[in-house]
Structure 1
Amino acid sequence: MSDTFASPPLATSWGDLPVTERMPVLFVGHGSPMNAIEDNRWRQSWQALGGELLARAQPPRLILCISAHWLTPGWQLTAMAQPRTIHDFGGFPQALFDQQYPAPGSPQAARFISQSVRQPASNQPLALDENDWGLDHGAWSILKPMFPAADIPVIQLSMDYGRPAAEHFAIGQQLSSLRERGVLIVGSGNVVHNLRTMRRDAADNQAYDWAIEFDRVTAEHIAQRRLSSLCEFQHLGAAAQMAHPTWEHYLPLLYAAGAVHADDEPRFFNEGFQGASISMRSVVWA
């Protein structure tokens, strides 16, 4: 598959691309890896959203995905022409391990984004990963139902877990201008994510009180456009500690929220829970 950004040369290619209608920005609650292959309401919503995006007069030219499952010292971008499909989980049926998502990468776009975005603490460009990573299940498990043809180039951006929440939001703000160049920014995590307390027999509308509270407050910040307040999630005390014993699944929301423009309208979908302690709440800003 060809690199969409291969011509003209790097020095002028991005600036010469025509300004497009602004792409939406997404935060998707990915939940269990099994959602990638089970015919459930979460996956059906991803399929419907993908159809909606492909039906636009100008569909996405590139997808930039921030997944909860790629943590690195500093920030990195995948920069290989053909990122591999990573099965970063265990204990699931073989059918899940058989899944492949052969979307191309875009080394040229990765180089451009690397030089355009600065890491907040060091002011260094984003590092490039040309060999090691690929597309983990936080990326491909939602992108495959959305864009099954796998013909849109995908780049992943890692997260530096050791940095404060405001820096993740700040990188999202730097990424926001890419939306006018045909880039679909997708954060993939969960508003609430506590595997230790999962109850697999719980219905979609059942959840712990602390999970409901954290999900509600987060949704209110989004609906009322208090997006910078999302960086203060740890101020919720015990509810935050239970909702995120570790917060790698919350951080992708900050990148998506940072990329939102003042006139973007939020639209929620997939409201509900898996296993009483994983919020599947997702949002499109457009």
Structure 2
Amino acid sequence: MKRKDFMLKMLAALPATSIAMNLTELKTLAGSLEATPKMPVLFLGHGSPMNAIEENKFVQGFRKISNGIESPKAILCISAHWETQGTKVTAMQNPRTIHDFGGFPKTLYEVQYPAPGNPQLAKEVSEISKTSGIQLDESWGLDHGAWSVIKHMYPQADVPVIQLSLDYAKTPQQHYELAKELTPLRSKGILIVGSGNLVHNLGAIDWRKLNESYAFDWAKEASAKMNRFILNGDHQNLIAYKKHGKAFELAIPTPEHYLPLLYVLALQQKNETVYLFNDEPLGGSLTMTSVRIG
């Protein structure tokens, strides 16, 4: 007998007064424990919030990649735009759409992405780590690092989405080790998405070339090395990014847009394929490079 059927049969045998959940909730709980074929993992270069409402080759790349993935039971997103003290996971049933940016057209602020949350999955994630205490969070929601890209992949907003925060006190190695503990989720129908940008220096952008495929020499150097390390499975050189000199220092002036990559790489299994897409620079100091593993 399958584990799911066994659980439902046992629970159905209990007196009605002893069951605090309705049948739908029981099925959700049992389904969350059911094994599935292993899901791929993605790092998405999210770029400008305007990608949420524009039609361009990058959003086309997001749609194309999702078309090649079996519909997930839920999405766990690690976004550059949620940094916290300690690690947190969103646990509300209906996460709000957060417009965490300024100076953009009114139409962008009117966008809503009403994907449901998944409190049961959040609880499972909070209990999965043996090295980090992951706290349940009821106040955040979906920031633009999550919804601006996921909305192109699942425009019906019918796939539950939860977010995992970045603990700003953790070292890159500690982020990588925490991410490894998420591995079992890949075999439970959960699509894990890291959202950031590999080269991300807003202070150096040439705004005249923001919509052009253009990179400064240091951005070209850093991007080429990052891509080579990713394709070669050289995770240690990507974890120790601070040792690679001036080009990497300019490419990663602050770590939050880079760290989601480490969560994705940590989930790579032996002999899994690695594929780069949307691999283009913008404005001199930004790259949209995205990665699929598996």
Corresponding residue of 2:21:
none
The 5-angstrom pairing of residues 165-244 of structure 1 reads: 165-202=172-209, 204-244=212-252
Unaligned runs of 5+ in 1: none
Instruction: Name the SS for the 1:90 alignment partner.
Output: coil
Q: CA contact under 8 A between 1:116 and 1:125: conserved in structure 2? A: no
How far, CA to CA, are the matches of 1:166 and 1:213 in structure 2? 23
What amino acid maps onto 2:218 in structure 1? W
Instruction: Report the structure number with the largest CA radius of gyration.
Output: 2
How much does 1:263 deviate?
A: 2.0
* 1:77-132 Cα shifts (integer Å, max 9, x gaps): 000000000000000001110111000001111001111123xxxx34310002x1
How far, CA to CA, are the matches of 1:30 and 1:39 in structure 2? 14
Q: Residue 126 in 1 paired to residue 134 in 2?
A: yes
Corresponding residue of 1:68:
80
How far, CA to CA, are the matches of 1:23 and 1:124 in structure 2? 24
How far, CA to CA, are the matches of 1:170 and 1:207 in structure 2? 32
Corresponding residue of 2:263:
255
Q: Residue 280 in 1 paired to residue 275 in 2?
A: no
What amino acid maps onto 1:115 in structure 2? E
Q: CA contact under 8 A between 1:176 and 1:261: conserved in structure 2? A: no
Check 1:8–1:233 CA distance in 2 against 1; reply closer, same or farther (3 A cut). Answer: same
Q: CA contact under 8 A between 2:87 and 2:132: conserved in structure 1? A: no
Q: How many residue pairs align between the two structures?
A: 271
What amino acid maps onto 1:225 in structure 2? G
Unaligned runs of 5+ in 2: 1-23
Q: 2:90 aligns with which of 70, 73, 78?
A: 78
How far, CA to CA, are the matches of 2:26 and 2:74 in structure 1? 15
Q: Which runs of 4+ in 1 moved over 4 A?
A: none
Q: 2:37 aligns with which of 2, 14, 21?
A: 21
Corresponding residue of 2:104:
92
How far, CA to CA, are the matches of 1:110 and 1:38 in structure 2? 31
Q: TM-score, normalized by length of structure 2?
A: 0.88
Instruction: Name the SS for the 2:44 alignment partner.
Output: strand
* 1:34-86 Cα shifts (integer Å, max 9, x gaps): 01111111111112222222xx3xx2111000000000001000000000000
